[in-house]
Each structure stands twice: as structure tokens, then as C-alpha cells.
Amino acid sequence: MIDERSRKKLILEHSRRMNAADIDGLLELYADEVTFEDPVGSGRRTGRDALREHFEELAAAGISEIPGEPVAGQDGVHVLVPVTATMDYLPKGPGFAERGWLTAPDTPENSRITWDYVLMMRAGAGGLIQELQMFWGRSDLDITG
């Protein structure tokens, strides 16, 4: 168990490193056998290699996360934060459109995706993140630009 303040700092540090596109630094926050699901309902993946691939795709799209106030669970392991994020439509947007999550824009090269989600993390031994889940649905996505 890690204290509430430390878990809140951990989830905010995740967003800071994501915004800096510091993938190696970001992965240092995670356990080797991390499980993650983005979005919840799309299927769980396991391990730092799969997480690296996921984060590299987001960084390639120029993701920018603006986290809200984190909330820590009283269980000593969970922390959640609401996030508003933006990223370029390309390269990930066409996959979102294929899944029916959004409508493809007329000018994909000039468009951005904006979405709201809740990021949930479960911390384990040594304060490393054991689990990451992102909760969002189709109504939480929008195209700008």
C-alpha cells in the first residue's frame, strides 16, 4: 500500500511524462507485468512491451493530457483522475473511425481528436503501476479543426 498523496502524485506524473513524450521515463512508473485496457471493453493487454507500443502511438499523434484533480481510493492501491486530452487525428484516428467511435473528418491532416476520459491506476509493491484502465465512450470523443 502507498499513501494517498503518493498515488495522486504518481498519476499526475504519468500525465506529465506522457505530455513530454518521455516513453522510457513513463515506463519506469510501471511494473513489468502491467495490465492495461484503453478503452475499457476493448480487451486487456499485458506487459511493458505492449504498453510501450501503445504509448508510442499516442506520442506520435502528439497527445496532450490535461488532468483534473486525482481521487485516491481508501484501499491503498487505486487512484483515478479525469483527463481532457487532444491529439492529431493522424495516425490513430482512422482506427477510431473504423470501429465506429467517431466520424472521419473531411481534412484528417488538419484535424485533432479531443476526448474526455477517466484514468484509473492500481499501484503495487514499490509504488509501481500494476494496472491502467481508461474509461471513455463514443460520446466522449470529438473532432476539432
Averaged pLDDT of the chain: 95
Q: Binning pLDDT at 50, 70 and 90, where does residue 126 land?
A: confident
Distance CA 74, CA 43 (A): 27
Q: pTM (2 decimals)? A: 0.92
Domain CATH for 71:
3.10.450.50
Note the pLDDT of residue 38. 92
pLDDT at 141: 95
pLDDT at 87 over 90: yes
Q: Write out the residue range of the structural domain in which residue 31 sits.
A: 4-144
The β-bridge relationship of strands 78-88 and 71-72 is antiparallel
Number of domains in the chain: 1
pLDDT value at residue 2 = 87
Cα 66-69-74 angle, rounded to 5 deg: 135
Contacts of 129 (CB under 8 A, 6+ apart): 10, 14, 29, 30, 31, 34, 121, 122, 123
DSSP lists the bridge partners of residue 35 as: 46, 131
Residue 72: the pLDDT is 97
